[in-house]
Amino acid sequence: MDKPLPLIELCNVGFSAQENRIVEDISVKFTEGTATALAGPSGGGKSTVLKLAAGILVPDRGEVRYRDQNIAAFTRGQNLDFRKETAVVFQDSALWANQTLYQTLELPLHIHYPLMSAKEREQRIREVVSAVGYRRDLAVRPALLSMGEQKLIGFARAMVCRPAILFLDEWLESLDDEAARRLLSLVRRFKSEGSTLVFISHDFDLVSNLSDRVIMIAGGKISANVTREELIRNKNVAGLIEEGMNE
């Protein structure tokens, strides 16, 4: 039986910022319908790898491929399709400071569903806001929100176009227990529906329970790439992963 082609693949990817090499010679495959955890010490390059895979950053070496096509060579239409299929929840939420929450949530719908009516957009927005548990006014700007509330809106924005691939960077940080449970439940449902998940977390229990594969990144390079079964079966591997996450 042929192995499924990777949905997203990083091929010998390198990335530098201000002449500092952040990641070097990263090669990794993300398979459709699976959950992959990017683990490792702070500053090791996890967020950079996630943003490269999501097409947010452009590598200065190697290629990032989506369905075996180089993202850097996409036409405008291909890039728009890719953006519609994918969504990112950033660690710092990354909400537009000069837009209301409603405008922030409405913008992706304007871009990807230009024929959607205002009433349909409002219904979709109300659905995702209710799902994440945000109960306050949407006519305010992010500065009036707590960090936890900003994370809820950031998650709602990611889900408003119903993506097939979700990238999550420490998405449960700054949330109270109830909100964290709610978003984790939404992510589990997203995964159970056959969608693709790439996430970063420093919570070993979450990584070992939610992921199908764990990729350890340290010093800008991959130091381990194991399945969930290997993580559970081999205590030495589990110990190395957990220790590396706490560095």
Q: Which residues contact residue 6 at a Cβ distance below 8 angstroms, ignoring those fewer than 6 apart?
A: 29, 30, 31, 32, 65
Evaluate whether 62 touches 73 at the Cβ level (below 8 Å): no
The predicted pLDDT at position 4 comes to 62
Which residues of the chain form beta strands (DSSP E)?
Answer: 6-17, 20-31, 35-39, 61-66, 69-70, 86-89, 165-169, 196-200, 213-218, 221-227
Residue 138 lies in a domain: no
Phi and psi, residue 29, nearest 5°: -120, 140
Indicate the pTM of the whole model.
0.94
Helix, strand, or coil here: 2?
A: coil
Evaluate whether 56 touches 198 at the Cβ level (below 8 Å): no
Q: How many domains does the chain have?
A: 1
Which residues face 196 on adjacent strands? 165
Q: How far apart are CA 46 and CA 66, in angstroms?
A: 19
Report how far apart, in Å, the C-alpha atoms of 176 and of each of 35, 181, 206 are: 24, 9, 16
Residue 61 lies in a domain: yes
The predicted pLDDT at position 245 comes to 79
Residue 16 lies in a domain: yes
Residue 136 lies in a domain: no
Residue 94 lies in a domain: yes
Residue 228 lies in a domain: yes
- The rounded average pLDDT for each run of 10 residues, N- to C-terminus, in the chain (247 residues) is 77 92 95 95 93 96 96 96 96 92 98 97 98 96 95 97 96 92 96 96 92 94 93 86 78
Q: How far apart are CA 174 and CA 239, in angstroms?
A: 26
The predicted pLDDT at position 1 comes to 46
Evaluate whether 111 touches 87 at the Cβ level (below 8 Å): no
The predicted pLDDT at position 85 comes to 97
Residue 116 lies in a domain: no
18 CA to centre of own chain: 24
Evaluate whether 222 touches 53 at the Cβ level (below 8 Å): no
Residue 147 lies in a domain: no
Look up the domain containing 204 and give its range: 6-98+167-245
Query: Residue 48 is part of a domain; what is its CATH number?
Result: 3.40.50.300
Q: How far apart are CA 186 and CA 66, in angstroms?
A: 25
The predicted pLDDT at position 110 comes to 97
